[in-house]
Amino acid sequence: MDLHFGDSKPTDDERAAVDALLGPPESSWEGADRSDADLRWARGGREARDRRDLLLPGLHAINDRVGWISDGALDYLCRRLTVPPAEAYGVATFYAMFSVKPRPATVLHVCTDLACTAAGASELCAGIEGGLGPGVQVERSPCLGLCERAPAALAIRAGDPVRTAVSAPATVREAVLAATAPDSAPEEPPAALAVPQADSGDLILLSRVGVVDPASLDDYRAHGGYTALRRAFELGPAGVIREVTDSGLVGRGGAAFPTGRKWQATASQPDHPHYVVCNADESEPGTFKDRVIMEGDPYALIESMTIAAYATGAHQGYLYLRGEYPRALRRLEHALVQARARGLLGDDVLGQGYAFDIEIRRGAGAYICGEETALFNSIEGYRGEPRSKPPFPVEKGLFGKPTVENNVETLVNVLPILTMGAPAYAAIGTARSTGPKLFCVSGTVDRPGIYELPFGATLGELLELAGVRDGLRAVLLGGAAGGFVRADEMDIPLTFEGTREAGTTLGSGVVMAFDDTVPLPRLLLRIAEFFRDESCGQCVPCRVGTVRQEEALHRIAERTGADAADDIALLREVGRAMRDASICGLGQTAWNAVESAIDRLGAYE
């Protein structure tokens, strides 16, 4: 590799931010001053290139400290990691939370996604932009995952350390306060407030949220923590996989793949090492369940990942957390330190001679990184573009090695499977959708939040619990990648097979209610805008198709019937090609919600 660095230099602050992550440079080959020894040998080569995966943490370090990434800072980071600057520039410009142009130290992300739009995000944005001076940059953001407290805003102030403040439900005054004085902003309400059933006593997945102290490992253990891992060690890896397979657990991220089969496929790969990756890049608009678990019961996730690793023969796990979750990051980081100190992670987990540790990797604002292979690329320090499959991750995943990837909700289901046993777990729910399921209910309901119900409850029962208001017009199931159903379809059973039979999808468990005051064409435009913004741009059907979809929806925003017919026909043709020919799920689902609004709701009739 023939690396070429420009002559732009980092500032002291930028250099310090990078060195704090990587340690001081050892030789001039990686950015130190030249010494005599440097004339005789070169450090670098494969060892240096093996640190490529520190590129994303390095970009975060600079962006956190300075607020943006200058040419000099990027070049210095590249020199330290032996990464070509052109590639690092391609990575830095991929993520929405980074800027390669100067900007104020404070950025206020105001959510303008579905639930927040329904709760008046546009007016909020207008008010905030009028009420803030030049020292803060206001950015209209995709879903911040705070839908139960819509509308939401997140302030990030660069510095050492970086400061964050969340305002939700946000008013103009509170959001401005969060941006101008993040240190004195009031603490967020506890995670348990997002769980309306918290006191009911019959929850399984959410039983500890609001009950345990998320900062206390002792409290977690006092509430049944780490019994599942002990049971896993009794069963042995094959036994754990058998229990998970027998439980009928399928992935909760939307694709509904059998978890036991995935674990078995990874465990049996002859290539080593194996990796466990937790997908906590919860970016589907309307989804916030993983955040509540991570904020309210962080040790449960760590224990689950340890079990997944033990079952599949992995000794290293990565927890890929979306960049917009500062509180979840703090709680998980604290929990990891505690677990390591107590021998629950590290060389000798629970004294069983099994080595496992977890590293948190922070995303930087890219919905596509929730796609499993895009997530691997992101961790590895490449652009978060999906890979084509096959090969599948169980065979060639992270760093080209066999990898099991599960999202947060899927993983925490493993705890009750092991503590209650597969048959008892499988008895919950229906024959083909077993276990409890989390639903993120938001929009025009009285008690938005996360609900835990056994599979098989109907949409109507769930909305009843959440306090659906009069005048319900439509429900969006599965988020922006899901589909709308009508207000008269309340008897749809909330199972994978039931929603499929009804011609819709359960997706990631989003249930967003909209009454007749919410303008439907504007929602559809927001969905189209979301996909246009979040397309990685790799394949043509998605890169250009999402743009053409948004243009057509703009043209028919105020039109119906025959006036809209041409553009609806165009949307169908483009949508069909996006679904058939896109590389990954983002492009394949980008037309689902719009199509369902046209066909089921008669959006433009």
- Judged by CB under 8 A, the residue of 197, 540, 559, 600 near another protein is 540
Q: How far apart are the first and last CA of the chain?
A: 59
Which CB atom, from 51 or from 579, has the smaller least distance to another protein? 579
- Judged by CB under 8 A, the residue of 21, 32, 89, 395 near another protein is 89
Q: Is 35 in the site for another protein (CB under 8 A)?
A: no
**Stretch of 127-135, 322-330, 541-549, 589-597 contacting another protein, by CB under 8 A:** 541-549
Which CB atom, from 143 or from 422, has the smaller least distance to another protein? 143
Q: Report strand pairing: 314-321 vs 346-349.
A: unpaired
Angle at 427 between CA 223 and CA 214, to 5 degrees: 20
- Judged by CB under 8 A, the residue of 17, 62, 66, 74 near another protein is 74
Q: How far apart are CA 283 and CA 147, in angstroms?
A: 12
Given a contact cutoff of 8 angstroms between Cβ atoms, the answer to whether 282 and 411 are in contact is no
- Judged by CB under 8 A, the residue of 535, 589, 592, 596 near another protein is 535
Q: Is 546 in the site for another protein (CB under 8 A)?
A: yes
- One character per residue 578-597, x = contact with another protein (rule: CB under 8 A): -xxxxx----x---------
- Judged by CB under 8 A, the residue of 12, 86, 187, 561 near another protein is 86
Q: Is 558 in the site for another protein (CB under 8 A)?
A: no
Which CB atom, from 196 or from 251, has the smaller least distance to another protein? 251
Q: How far apart are CA 354 and CA 95, in angstroms?
A: 36
Q: How far apart are CA 598 and CA 605, in angstroms?
A: 8
Q: What residues from 402 to 461 belong to the interface with another protein (CB under 8 A)?
A: none
Q: Is 231 in the site for another protein (CB under 8 A)?
A: no
Q: Is 551 in the site for another protein (CB under 8 A)?
A: yes
Given a contact cutoff of 8 angstroms between Cβ atoms, the answer to whether 136 and 276 are in contact is no
Given a contact cutoff of 8 angstroms between Cβ atoms, the answer to whether 317 and 278 are in contact is yes
Q: Report strand pairing: 314-321 vs 274-280.
A: parallel
Phi, psi (rounded to 5 degrees) for 494 = -85, 75
Report, in Å, the least distance between residue 574 CB and another protein: 6
**Stretch of 1-9, 231-239, 461-469, 496-504 contacting another protein, by CB under 8 A:** 1-9
Angle at 512 between CA 562 and CA 154, to 5 degrees: 110
- Judged by CB under 8 A, the residue of 129, 360, 533, 600 near another protein is 533
Place of tokens 């207000």: 487
Q: Is 572 in the site for another protein (CB under 8 A)?
A: no
Token digits of residue 316: 């290293």
* Helix pair angle (259-267, 227-247), 10° resolution: 110
- Judged by CB under 8 A, the residue of 211, 256, 420, 547 near another protein is 547
- Judged by CB under 8 A, the residue of 144, 278, 539, 598 near another protein is 539
**Rg for the chain (alpha carbons), in Å?**
24
- Judged by CB under 8 A, the residue of 208, 362, 383, 401 near another protein is 383
Which CB atom, from 84 or from 224, has the smaller least distance to another protein? 84
Report, in Å, the least distance between residue 538 CB and another protein: 5
Which helix (H) or strand (E) covers residue 156, if one does?
A: strand 153-157
Report, in Å, the least distance between residue 374 CB and another protein: 11
Which CB atom, from 501 or from 573, has the smaller least distance to another protein? 573
- One character per residue 93-132, x = contact with another protein (rule: CB under 8 A): xx-x---x--------------------------------
Question: What residue type is assigned to position 82 of the chain?
Answer: T
Report, in Å, the least distance between residue 16 CB and another protein: 22
> What is the secondary structure of 17-49 as a DSSP string?
HHHHHH-S--SGGGTS---GGGGT----HHHHH
Report, in Å, the least distance between residue 506 CB and another protein: 17
Given a contact cutoff of 8 angstroms between Cβ atoms, the answer to whether 542 and 578 are in contact is yes
Given a contact cutoff of 8 angstroms between Cβ atoms, the answer to whether 317 and 357 are in contact is yes
Which CB atom, from 84 or from 346, has the smaller least distance to another protein? 84
Report, in Å, the least distance between residue 436 CB and another protein: 28
Given a contact cutoff of 8 angstroms between Cβ atoms, the answer to whether 131 and 99 are in contact is no
The total number of residues written for the chain in this structure: 605
**E-strand spans in 15-151?**
106-111, 136-141
Report, in Å, the least distance between residue 319 CB and another protein: 24
Report, in Å, the least distance between residue 590 CB and another protein: 11
Given a contact cutoff of 8 angstroms between Cβ atoms, the answer to whether 394 and 400 are in contact is no
**Stretch of 53-61, 264-272, 457-465, 576-584 contacting another protein, by CB under 8 A:** 576-584
| Strand, coil or helix: 445 | strand
Q: Is 256 in the site for another protein (CB under 8 A)?
A: no
DSSP H helices, 133-198, are: 172-180
Q: Is 573 in the site for another protein (CB under 8 A)?
A: yes
Q: What residues from 348 to 377 belong to the interface with another protein (CB under 8 A)?
A: 366
Report, in Å, the least distance between residue 285 CB and another protein: 17
Given a contact cutoff of 8 angstroms between Cβ atoms, the answer to whether 284 and 507 are in contact is yes
Q: Is 503 in the site for another protein (CB under 8 A)?
A: no
Given a contact cutoff of 8 angstroms between Cβ atoms, the answer to whether 309 and 302 are in contact is no
Interface positions with another protein (CB under 8 A): 1-4, 6, 71, 74-75, 84-90, 93-94, 96, 100, 366, 383, 388, 532-541, 543-548, 551, 555, 570, 573-574, 576-577, 579-583, 588
